[in-house]
Amino acid sequence: MNTDHAYTRKILSAFEQISQIPRPSKKEQKIVAWLMNWAIENGLEAKTDEALNVLIKVPPSSGYENSQTLVLQGHMDMVCEKAKGFEHDFDHDPIELIYTDDGWLTANQTTLGADNGIAIAMAMVAATDDLIGHPPLELLFTTDEETGLTGATSLQPGFIKDKQLLNIDSEDEGVFTVGCSGGEDARLSLPFSANESLSDHSAFKLMAGGMSGGHSGIDIVEQRANAIKVIFDGIHRLCQQIDVRISAVNGGSARNAIPRDAEAVLLMPSADLEIAHSIIAQLHNKLRHKYRKTDPSLRLSLVSESGDHKAASAETTRRAIDTVFAYPHGVVEMSSDITGLVETSNNLATIKVENDKLVILSNQRSSDMNSLAQLCDRVMSVARLAGATGETSGGYTSWQPNMDSKLLARCLEVYENRFGKKPVVEAIHAGLECGIIGAKYDGMDMISFGPTIKNPHSPDEKIEIESIGKVWDFMVALFESYQ
């Protein structure tokens, strides 16, 4: 690691400790216990609630006794994505960190968890370093942000006391986030029975992989390939010329990650294998060209599959194809107020066969709650037309920008004085806990910022080491402004 910043090493040391502790969404018990023990060891008051959110109170430094309290907030859980074929148990294995020669920190074929472990690490150093001054701090670490923001949703009145909150969960240094989209999940269940024995058909596996994936909010504007859409494009083209039946299908891994891999077990006449390979090879070449900039490693292949497999009927196979084709994915509408900002989008996230059902999960986002409701209605319309059942859940509100925020004005002044330039102020097409926290605590003044993180929610996630020091310098200068 190459850094000459005095505090970057301390922050990364804390992050290395955090990375040793498994913390998948909904399974944060180990990190909660570790943080509570850390608070005790450092003589800090700490508590948890029923959702396992953690609040640690940090007394003010000398000279800051009469300063307003600041809430430093981040989430404990991480998206658990790994490269296809790589062995890693997120419930038990630590994250293997890799420091690159060009100044980044990444992980060995898994998500890094800098989203949002770096917030915890920075808050820990701020709370325990005697060489910096700071106002009273409340460290708020929430659970299950990545699969529904349920930790923030479960916060009760009085759990946090103050009215100024720094959310350290944005991913571009020099950018202040002051607004975010709302969101809602959808689940569609289509009747799907694979119980036909076809003696004149053989089993094959159609595999799509190597796609870039990424964050379903931040990266959706890139129009990257969706592995589920790719696999069904292949099945559709095969069905146009061959009697192909679906036996099983599986794709995607998380509601808020663009699917990178998908596969389907198919039954087709062995005599048609040559034409099947030709169809898939042609589609592979077309997709490689179409996504040459966004997904240069995209691959699509057809291989023989061993074992005894039963098939869905031709009608069921066709209905599954039509349902996926009709299901929305990608940017639905761009903002008319902010150039380049996605207003509304949908992520067709996962698909699998279970209990004689083809189950599809998706995540809808919008900064306009009416547009979000319309998109959810659209998804439910697809369900009804397909003869499926559909339900939505996990809804959360958007965070509307407050350009008259006193905290924003203070942060803008501090940043410009510290770095000699103005930061970017923006809203993002992603869900942040600020929307929920603001709705629960009336009058909460909030801002979100953080070090530069690329490719979150994918095994390519990495954090720029130099940006960690810059964010730290800004935070310290902001603390000093409260003296």
For the annotated catalytic residues, the residue numbers are: 77, 145
**228 Ramachandran zone, left/alpha/beta (phi>0; psi -120 to 50):** alpha
Tokens for 21?
Answer: 């502790």
What is the Cα–Cα distance from 255 to 247, expressed in whole angstroms?
A: 24
What is the Cα–Cα distance from 400 to 471, expressed in whole angstroms?
A: 24
Q: What are phi and psi of 316, to 5 degrees?
A: -65, -40
Q: Report the DSSP pairing between strands 164-167 and 70-75.
A: parallel
* 3-state class (DSSP) for residue 58: strand
**359 Ramachandran zone, left/alpha/beta (phi>0; psi -120 to 50):** beta
Angle at 470 between CA 469 and CA 474, to 5 degrees: 115
Tokens for 434?
Answer: 């600020």
Residue 313: how many CB atoms within 10 A of its CB?
A: 15
CB 315 within 8 A of CB 322: no
What is the Cα–Cα distance from 222 to 235, expressed in whole angstroms?
A: 25
**Long-range own/partner contacts, residues 82-89 (CB < 8 A, 24 or more apart):** 82/109, 82/110, 82/111, 82/459, 83/109, 83/110, 83/459, 84/209, 84/260, 84/261, 86/110, 86/459
- Sequence-distant (6+) residues with CB within 8 A of 64 are 133, 134, 135, 136, 479, 482, 483
Tokens for 417?
Answer: 């004085």
